[in-house]
C-alpha cells in the first residue's frame, strides 16, 4: 500500500483539510503551473481563493470548466511553451462551448492585452498581484466578457490566505515570505512582472507554518526572490523589525522535527547572521542556493548583480567555515551580452573553485524592456552560447559526480517523501543537503525520518541502505 495513511501518526482528515476538496456538483477548475516554486505556491493561493467562491479543483483537464495557466516569462522558451499549450486549449474550447481559459502569472503581467488579441484563445488575464479579483473576472467571463487585471501592488502578500496544498505527499510545503524584487539585474524580467519587493507579516508566516505542523507536514521551504532582504516592520511598532535571520530562527523553533529550507539567497545580501542561525538549529537544512550567474567581475557588473567575483567567493568561504557540511547550489547564465571567451573561462574556474553540488544552467535569453535589452547588444551567437552552455553542463556533471562519490560510506538522516518510481520495494527522500536518496522500504513510511548509509550512486541519485 502506498498510502501515507498507513502512518498512524498522520490523521487523514487533517491532511484533507489542506488539500483540494473535490465536489463534482461545483464548477471545476484545472490549473497548470510553469516556472518557479513561487508560481507553484501562487497556484495554491489561487485554488484557495476559487474554492471559497464555489469552484472545485480537478486534476482532469477534460472535466474543467475553467482552465488557468500560471505562466513564466524568465526566458523566451518558457513563454513559447505556454503559447503552444494555449493552442491545445483552443481545440478543447471548440469541443466544450463554455470552457474558459485564463492566463495568470508573469506572462499575463508582461503581455497584458496582447494575450486577448487572438479570437477565442484567452478569456481572462490576471497578473501576480491581482488574484483576489479572479473570481469576479471568471464570473464576468461566464457572461461572455473578457477580463483583465494586471495591476501591481505595493502591499499585496496574500498574507491571510491559507494555500490549498498541491503537493501529493503531505510532507513538504512552500510558504511565501515576500513578493516581488527590487534588485534590477539587467537581464531579468522579474521586477517588471512581479513588481517591487514587499515582506509578508511575520506572524502570518509563523501561523501558516504552525498550521502545516498541526497537519503533520515535516518540511517547509520559505520562498522569496531574495530571502536575505526580508524585513518585516510591525506597523503598530516600527521599532519591532524582523530580519530573515530572525524569521528563520522563529520558524525553526516552532518544532524540532520540522525541516526548514529557503530559496533564493542573494550573494550581495546573505550575511553571517543567517549562517549562524543555520548552524544553531539542526532542523534548518544544510543547503544554500546562491546564484552566481557568472564568474567574471566584468559580467557581474554589467548584470548589475551588486557584487564581484571576490565578494562572491568571500560568501562561499563564510558558508564553508560556519557550515562545513552545507551543500551549495547555483544558477549560471552562459553568453550574456559582451561575454568573451575569457569571461566564460572565469565562470568555469569559479565553478571548480566552489565545487557546486548542483547547478541550474541557462543560455542568456533577451527579455524585452529589461536594461540589457535596452542598453546592450545580445552579441554572443546562438552556436557560441550553446557551446559555452555545454561546457558548463559537462563541468558541472563532473563536479556533481565527485560530490556524490564523496557521500559514499557516509550516513545521512533522510526525510521520506515517496515510493521510488523504479521499484515498489524502495522509498526515496532527501538528505538535509537536498540530495535524493533511494533505499529499501522495509517498514518505513512517507513522512518518517530514517538514517541511511550511502552505498553507491547513479548520475541523479544516491543509493543507500538502512543504517544500523
Ligand atoms: N536569460 C537566461 N537566464 C535567466 N535567468 C533570469 N533571467 C534570465 C535570462 N534573461 C536565470 C537566472 C536566475 C534564474 C531563475 O533564471 O540564472 O537566477
Ligand atoms: Fe518565477 Fe521569474 Fe518565472 Fe515569474 S519570471 S514565474 S518570478 S521564474
* pLDDT mean across residues, the chain: 94
- 350-382 pLDDT, tens digit per residue, is 999 999 999 999 999 999 999 999 999 999 999
- 83-110 pLDDT, tens digit per residue, is 999 999 999 999 999 999 999 999 999 9
Closest atom of ligand 1 to 367 CA is: 10
Q: Which three cell numbers stand for residue 404?
A: 556524490
Residue 310 Cα to ligand 2 midpoint, Å, equals 28
Q: How far apart are CA 186 and CA 374, in angstroms?
A: 9
* CATH fold match for the domains 12-149 and 322-407: no
Closest atom of ligand 1 to 365 CA is: 1
- Cα-to-chain-centroid distance, residue 56: 25
**Shortest CA distance to 216 belongs to which of 452, 464, 445, 373?**
445
For atom 8 of ligand 2, the residue with the nearest CA is 36
Closest atom of ligand 2 to 36 CA is: 1
The mean pLDDT value for 38-43 works out to 97
For atom 7 of ligand 1, the residue with the nearest CA is 188
Question: Within 13 Å and on the Cβ side, how many CA atoms surround 90?
Answer: 12
Closest atom of ligand 1 to 189 CA is: 7
SS3 per residue for 326-359: CEEEEEEEECCCCCCHHHHHHHHHHHHHHCCCEE
- 333-356 pLDDT, tens digit per residue, is 999 999 999 999 999 999 999 999
pLDDT of residue 229: 97
Mutation test of ligand 2: which of 71, 106, 178, 264 has the most ligand atoms closer than 8 Å to its C-beta?
A: 106
Residue 370 Cα to ligand 1 midpoint, Å, equals 12
Residue 240: which pLDDT band, with cuts at 50, 70 and 90? very high
Q: Which residues pair with 353 in a beta bridge?
A: none
pLDDT of residue 15: 42
- Look at residue 6 and tell me whether its pLDDT is greater than 70: no
Order of all β-strands in the sheet with 28-33: 56-57, 28-33, 66-71, 100-105, 124-126, 147-149
Q: Which ligand is nearest to the CA of 104?
A: 2
- 412-430 pLDDT, tens digit per residue, is 999 999 999 999 999 999 9
Residue 332 Cα to ligand 1 midpoint, Å, equals 8
Q: Which residues pair with 220 in a beta bridge?
A: 173, 260
Residue 263 Cα to ligand 1 midpoint, Å, equals 15
Residue 281 Cα to ligand 2 midpoint, Å, equals 30
- 376-402 pLDDT, tens digit per residue, is 999 999 999 999 999 999 999 999 999
- Look at residue 457 and tell me whether its pLDDT is greater than 60: yes
Give me the residue spans of the domains in the chain.
12-149, 322-407, 411-466
Q: Is 74 in the pocket of ligand 1 (CB under 6 A)?
A: yes
- Look at residue 295 and tell me whether its pLDDT is greater than 80: yes
**Ligand 2 pocket by C-beta < 6 Å: which residues?**
35-36, 38-39, 72-74, 105-106, 189-190, 193-194
Q: How far apart are CA 299 and CA 294, in angstroms?
A: 7
- 170-215 pLDDT, tens digit per residue, is 999 999 999 999 999 999 999 999 999 999 999 999 999 999 999 9
SS3 per residue for 411-461: EEEEEEEEECCCCCCEEEEECCCCCEEEEECCCCCCCCEEEEEEEEECCCC
Q: What is the architecture, at CATH level 2, of domain 12-149?
A: 3-Layer(aba) Sandwich (3.40)
**Phi/psi at 74 (nearest 5 deg)?**
-65, -35
Q: Is 75 in the pocket of ligand 1 (CB under 6 A)?
A: yes
- Cα-to-chain-centroid distance, residue 132: 22
Residue 158 Cα to ligand 2 midpoint, Å, equals 17
Hey, which CATH number is domain 322-407, 2.40.100.10, 3.80.30.20, 3.90.180.10, 3.90.75.20?
Answer: 3.80.30.20
Hey, which CATH number is domain 411-466, 2.40.50.140, 3.40.50.880, 3.40.50.720, 3.90.1150.10?
Answer: 2.40.50.140
Closest atom of ligand 2 to 78 CA is: 3
Q: Is 365 in the pocket of ligand 1 (CB under 6 A)?
A: yes
Task: Count other Cβ atoms within 10 Å, centred on residue 181.
Answer: 21
Stretch (H or E) spanning 14: helix 12-18
Amino acid at each position: 500500500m502506498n498510502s501515507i495513511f498507513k502512518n498512524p501518526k498522520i490523521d487523514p482528515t487533517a491532511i484533507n483539510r489542506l488539500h483540494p476538496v473535490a465536489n463534482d456538483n461545483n464548477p471545476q477548475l484545472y490549473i497548470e503551473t510553469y516556472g518557479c516554486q513561487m508560481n507553484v505556491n501562487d497556484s495554491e493561493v489561487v485554488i484557495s481563493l476559487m474554492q471559497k467562491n464555489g469552484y472545485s479543483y480537478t486534476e482532469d483537464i477534460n472535466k474543467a470548466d475553467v482552465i488557468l495557466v500560471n505562466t513564466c516569462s524568465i526566458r523566451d522558451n518558457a513563454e513559447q511553451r505556454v503559447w503552444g499549450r494555449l493552442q491545445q486549449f483552443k481545440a478543447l474550447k471548440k469541443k466544450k462551448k463554455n470552457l474558459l481559459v485564463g492566463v495568470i502569472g508573469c506572462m499575463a503581467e508582461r503581455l497584458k492585452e496582447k494575450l486577448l488579441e487572438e479570437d477565442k484563445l484567452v478569456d481572462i488575464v490576471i497578473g501576480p498581484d491581482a488574484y483576489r479579483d479572479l473570481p469576479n473576472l471568471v464570473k464576468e467571463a461566464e457572461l461572455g466578457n473578457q477580463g483583465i487585471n494586471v495591476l501591481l501592488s505595493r502591499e499585496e502578500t496574500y498574507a491571510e490566505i491559507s494555500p490549498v496544498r498541491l503537493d501529493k505527499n503531505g510532507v513538504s510545503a512552500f510558504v511565501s515570505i515576500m513578493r516581488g524584487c527590487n534588485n534590477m539585474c539587467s537581464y531579468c524580467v522579474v521586477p517588471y512582472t512581479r513588481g517591487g519587493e514587499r515582506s509578508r507579516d511575520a506572524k502570518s508566516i509563523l501561523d501558516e507554518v504552525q498550521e502545516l505542523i498541526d497537519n503533520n507536514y515535516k518540511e517547509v521551504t520559505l520562498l522569496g526572490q531574495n530571502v536575505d532582504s526580508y524585513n518585516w516592520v510591525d506597523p503598530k511598532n516600527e521599532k519591532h523589525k524582523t530580519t530573515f535571520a530572525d524569521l528563520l530562527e522563529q520558524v525553526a523553533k516552532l518544532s524540532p522535527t520540522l525541516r526548514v529550507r529557503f530559496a533564493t539567497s542573494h550573494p550581495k545580501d546573505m550575511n553571517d547572521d543567517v549562517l549562524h542561525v543555520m548552524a544553531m538549529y539542526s532542523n534548518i537544512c544544510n543547503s544554500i542556493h546562491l546564484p552566481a550567474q557568472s564568474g567574471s567581475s566584468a559580467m557581474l557588473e554589467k548584470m548589475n548583480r551588486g557584487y564581484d567575483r571576490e565578494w562572491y567567493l568571500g560568501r562561499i568561504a563564510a558558508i564553508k567555515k560556519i557550515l562545513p557540511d552545507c551543500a551549495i547550489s547555483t544558477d549560471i547564465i552562459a553568453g550574456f551580452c559582451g561575454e568573451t571567451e575569457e569571461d566564460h573561462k572565469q565562470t568555469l574556474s569559479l565553478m571548480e573553485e566552489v565545487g557546486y553540488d548542483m547547478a541550474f544552467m541557462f543560455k542568456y535569453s533577451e527579455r524585452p524592456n529589461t536594461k540589457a535589452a535596452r542598453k546592450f547588444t545580445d552579441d554572443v551567437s546562438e552556436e557560441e552560447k550553446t557551446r559555452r552552455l555545454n561546457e558548463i553542463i559537462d563541468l558541472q556533471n563532473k563536479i556533481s559526480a565527485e560530490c556524490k562519490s564523496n557521500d559514499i560510506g557516509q550516513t545521512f538522516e533522510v526525510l521520506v517523501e515517496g515510493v521510488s518510481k523504479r521499484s515498489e520495494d524502495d522509498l526515496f527522500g532527501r538528505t538535509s543537503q537536498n540530495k535524493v536518496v533511494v533505499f529499501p522500504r522495509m517498514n518505513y513510511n512517507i513522512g518518517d525520518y530514517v538514517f541511511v548509509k550511502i552505498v553507491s550512486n547513479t548520475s541523479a541519485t544516491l543509493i543507500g541502505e538502512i543504517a544500523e
